[in-house]
Structure formats: C-alpha cells, structure tokens
Amino acid sequence: MIVKGGIVYDPANGLYGEEMDLFIDQGRMVEQAKGEEIDARGLLVMPGGVDAHSHIAGKKVNTGRIMRPDDARQGTEPRTAVCRPSTGYTVPNCYAMGYRYARMGYTTAFEAATPILEARHTHEELEEIPIIDKGALTLFGSNWQVMECVRDKDLSKLAAYVAWGLRAARGYGVKIVNPGGGEAWGFGANVKGINDPVPNFDVTPAEIIMGLAQANEMLNLPHSIHLHFNNVGKPGNYTTALETLDLLKDIKPSRMRQIVHVAHMQFSAYGGTSWRDFESKAPVIADYFNCHNHATMDMGQLLFGSATTMTADAPLEYGNARLTHNKWSNHDIELEESSGVVPMVYFRKMLVNAVQWAVGLELALLVKDPWKVLMTTDHPNGSPFVNYPEVVTLLMSKSKRDAEMATLHEQVPKRTVLGGIERELDWTDIAIMTRAAPARILGLEDKGHLGPGADGDVSIYNLRPEEVDTSQDHALVKKALANAKYTIKGGVLVSKEGRILAAPPGRTFWVDAAVPQADTDRLMIDLEEKFAKYYSIQIANYAVQDAYLPHAKVIRAGLPVPLQEVA
C-alpha cells in the first residue's frame, strides 16, 4: 500500500509536517512497496492514535453498562455488512469501542485497571473489541502479597510476584490505584496520605509505591509504574501529588523512559481546603514536571455533559455517590482491590466542574514538553473518548477556550489561570501527545511512529495543515478529527470518512517477565497458603488461559535468568 503525498507528522522520526509518500507491506511500514494507492495529497497524516489510559474492558466497564440502560440507548447503530450493532455513549458495547476509536484514527488503546482475579473477563471483552490493538494494566497497589513483600523488604520476592501476577492476568504493566486504600476500604476506611499506614499490614502507601517502582525497574518492564495517586479528586490534593512524585525521583530507570506515569493528573491538581475554596494548582504541578524528568502524565480532561466514573478507588466512588445521590456500585475484589462505579453529569455552571475542566487544559498547556503529557479524558471518567477532538481543539485554539470560558461559572477566572495562557498547540505537539508519547511511555516500540518496521497504522485527516488556521477554524478541525478521512490499521484500510470498511481482530499485548526460579519457589509457598485460606477460587483456576487471547502479542522482559540445563 502507498499513502501518496500526505503532510506527515511523525515526531518520533523527526518529521514535522513533511510532504512525502508512505509505504506499507505485510502490515508494516517499509521503505518501498507496491499496491493500493491512498490519495493523501496535501492532507494531515499521522501514525495511528495510541490511547495509554482508557477504561474499555472488564468488570467495572460492564457494571457501568448494566447500571445505565439510559446510556445504552444513546449511540445505537444497527449492524451493517461489516459491523456488528453498536450501543452506548459513555459505556459503549465492545464492538462500538473498536469502531469509534478507528473512526477517529486511533489504532491502539490500553485498558488502565484490571485486578488479576477479574482479568479473564477483561480479556473476553478485549477480544471482542475489533480493529484496534489492546493491552491491560494489572492492579497491584492494595494486594496482600505485595504489601507483605513490602513489609518484609523482600524485593526479589515482590518482583517474582509482579512477574507471576502479570503472567496470571496476561497483563501489560503495573497499575497502582490509591495504594493501600483499596484494602482499607474493606474496613470502611481509607488512607489519608502516603505515610498513613494500611490497617493490618504495617506498610504505608509510600512504601508500596517505592517497592513496586523498584520491582518494576528490576524486571525491566516496558512500561513504568502507572500511578493513580492517593487522595484523588479531593480539594488540596496537589500536595499528595508532589510528595509522591518526589519520593520516586532518585530511582534509576531500567529503560529510556519515565519512572512513573501519573494517571489522569487533572484529578490530583487541586488546591483549597474544601469545595468552597477549591482552586487549580495546575501551575505548581506543571512546574514540577518542567523541572523533573522522571514523571509523565495523562490529562484526564473533564468535559461538560455525561460521564460514568469507574475506578479501583472505591472510597472515592463512595464520596461521588454521596455527593450526587446517583446510582452506585461498590465492589470488593478479595485479596486484591476494591472498586466502584457512579454515573455523573458535569455542569458548566457548577464551579467545581468548571475548575476541573480548566485544570486539565492548564496542565497540558503549562507543561512545556509535550512528551510528558498525554491527551486523555480518562474515558469514561472525565468524558467518553469520542470527545477527544473537542479536547484537541481546545488545546489548539485560544479563541475556542475563551469562548468556552465565557459560558462557565463566573468564578472560574479567579480560581484558575487558564484565561491568561496564550499557548496554542500545533500539529507536532498533538502528534506527540496522541501518538509518539503514549507509545514511548508504554514502551511500544512499533507504535506511535512511521519509521521502517513500525506497525502499518496510519491516520489521514481531511485537513490541509498548510492552509487551515487551527486557532480560528477549530470547528472545521474538530469535525475532521472526529472522522478520519482514512484509518489504516496493520496495512488494512479499516475506516473511510466515518464508515467502517473492515473489522479485523486486533492484537492484545502482554508482558512475560522472567525471574529466578528460586524466587518463584519462595513466592509459591505464600500464594498456596493464601489460596487455601482466603481466595474463593483454587490457584489452578486462577491464571488466564491462552485460549482467552487468540491474538496475543507477548513482550519478553525480566531479569537475566541463567538458561536451565536440559536433563
């Protein structure tokens, strides 16, 4: 396949809007190829979009669907010759997830939170999401085995458990959500800060985070720890964010990447002592990111309208349910986590919501290096992913931001600095924040760029970057981004102007990390006892079988382990 004459933005390979042809052969980018020609003359061309933090599969997504028949009725589309039927807006069905990402030019999305115990469900759903490539991060932050290893300062056993857990969950990386809080919630409590001990375990969130970060680097995992801070969503929580980030700054990375990726930073950049004096602390957070290189973030942008909040931070969801009197799901995951789901509507005239909206944008605009900030909405917590074009245009247009600001609660200019930010992002920034950076942060070598050997994932938009004024013509830009002119996934033309042309299955990435057998042997003694005493299932039935991942892509990592002698 040949993509002819596009204006190519491929920042990972130093291309910032160059007119050139692209070649794809057998699903990969190559130097030369023949075949079908796609006319992209003068049009914006980027690598396929990569979403490093989204909630697209598993039990809490499905709970959201069950709780919200009102949401299912929105966005229904009948089946076509190619597509199965779609339903839903904030919690679409599996098929719709694949089609809607592909329409926007996205070709990869990672599910951000799966407990090992529920990973089989996650993979059943991921397998049903067509077109895009996927992966799932695995929750470790309130896990009994993790906390015991941290308490005993047994780092090699912790690394062995992380490797075992990733293999059992067919997971891609280490996710930590409100560390210790998921366990405390089992007793109706929460941890209040990173030095507040977890009930019954004699460890602090700070120790859990440090232990997992060290184990993560020991195992040489492609992705860093992926951290949802303590105190997310609370006034004054920016101090928790800064304390936590500072904790990690001296750890040596095992790869050329960050030590910690911060999930949905917007929800952790708040000042004030209560909802009354609630304000943005995005400038302080952005300053920290500008002065340090060990951390990256995704925005977790909030948009006005309908959302469904879902997180392993169960006490946070309890707070949401009390605040909104809305439907609430609360869930305990045995020795591993807790979680919750609450539907939500965000309002322009509600001061807290309006400030939250501004905080996300401030973060993305005030952090100077676009490689450190990913464009996300923490789908569907801040807004469903179909609204990414709205976020991108807000970042690219000061006049759009000003027009929006004029419709918000009148206190917003006093509580935020957004109105004074002149910066408007360009296509290079956007290509980094939606393609190159998420791929690099996740450690996906073949994603987010268009160099030879990369996956043949290309998105082409009906926009002429040399003519369109992104600052003024934001409505045009938004429309073009919502439906790519062409989306190519693995060398297959999957979407054209919003119409799905083909729906091949996508792959699921997971990480198999090697550890010394002696460490695993020590670990298994602990685990066998836990399964015998506490788990509701047998250890033999725990791990996800390969049959659940018919399109698996295994990435090897781990400690250098001596080859075993063949007997």
Rounded distance, CA 548 to CA 560, Å? 29
Interface characters, 56-95, with another protein (x: CB under 8 A): ----------xxxxx-------------------------
Binding residue for Zn ion, selected from 10, 336, 378, 455, defined by CB under 5 A: 378
Instruction: Choose the binding region for Zn ion from 110-118, 122-130, 172-180, 419-427 (rule: CB under 5 A).
Output: 110-118
Which CA distances in Å does 208 have to 149, 198, 214, 244, 370? 9, 10, 10, 11, 29
Q: Which 8-state DSSP code applies to residue 369? A: -
Q: Given the complex with Zn ion, which of 47 and 58 has the nearer CB atom?
A: 58
Q: Given the complex with Zn ion, which of 234 and 401 has the nearer CB atom?
A: 234
Instruction: Choose the binding region for Zn ion from 19-27, 76-84, 353-361, 370-378 (rule: CB under 5 A).
Output: 370-378
Please list, in sequence order, all residues whose beta carbon lies within 8 angstroms of the beta carbon of residue 105, skipping any fewer than 6 positions away: 46, 48, 49, 459, 460, 461, 481, 484, 487, 495
Nearest approach, Cβ of 309 to Zn ion (angstroms)? 9
Q: Tokens 């450690």 correspond to what residue?
A: 443
Contacts of Zn ion in 235-264 (CB under 5 A): none
Nearest approach, Cβ of 554 to another protein (angstroms)? 37
Please list, in sequence order, all residues whose beta carbon lies within 8 angstroms of the beta carbon of residue 89, skipping any fewer than 6 positions away: 71, 74, 75, 306, 384, 386
Instruction: Choose the binding region for Zn ion from 98-106, 373-381, 455-463, 545-553 (rule: CB under 5 A).
Output: 373-381
Rounded distance, CA 464 to CA 318, Å? 47
Helix (H) or strand (E) holding 414: helix 412-415
Interface characters, 11-50, with another protein (x: CB under 8 A): ----------------------------------------
* Local structure of 381: helix, strand or coil: coil
Q: Given the complex with another protein, which of 66 and 323 has the nearer CB atom?
A: 66
Rounded distance, CA 79 to CA 53, Å? 28
Q: Given the complex with another protein, which of 326 and 428 has the nearer CB atom?
A: 326
Which CA distances in Å does 59 have to 64, 75, 91, 125, 330? 9, 21, 12, 9, 12
Binding residue for Zn ion, selected from 2, 29, 40, 112, defined by CB under 5 A: 112
112 binds, among Zn ion, another protein, none (CB under 5 to 8 A by kind): Zn ion
Report phi then psi at 66, rounded to 5. Answer: -65, -40
Angle at which helices 155-169 and 144-151 pack, to 10 degrees? 170
Contacts of another protein in 309-328 (CB under 8 A): 327
Q: Tokens 């200019």 correspond to what residue?
A: 413
Nearest approach, Cβ of 71 to another protein (angstroms)? 9
Q: Given the complex with another protein, which of 268 and 339 has the nearer CB atom?
A: 339
Tokens of 547: 């049959």
Omega of the bond prior to 380 within 30 degrees of 0, cis? yes
526 binds, among another protein, Zn ion, none (CB under 5 to 8 A by kind): none
Q: Given the complex with another protein, which of 68 and 372 has the nearer CB atom?
A: 68
Beta bridge partners of 461: 44
Q: Tokens 């349910």 correspond to what residue?
A: 321
CB contact at 8 A, 278 and 270? yes
Q: Given the complex with another protein, which of 329 and 508 has the nearer CB atom?
A: 329
Q: Given the complex with another protein, which of 64 and 370 has the nearer CB atom?
A: 64
Nearest approach, Cβ of 326 to another protein (angstroms)? 9
Q: Given the complex with Zn ion, which of 29 and 112 has the nearer CB atom?
A: 112
Q: Transcribe 174-191 into DSSP letters.
A: EEEESTTHHHHGGGT---
Nearest approach, Cβ of 381 to another protein (angstroms)? 19
Nearest approach, Cβ of 113 to another protein (angstroms)? 22
Residues in the interface with another protein (CB under 8 A) total: 6
Residues lying near another protein in the complex (CB under 8 A): 66-70, 327
Footprint on this chain of Zn ion (rule: CB under 5 A): 112, 378
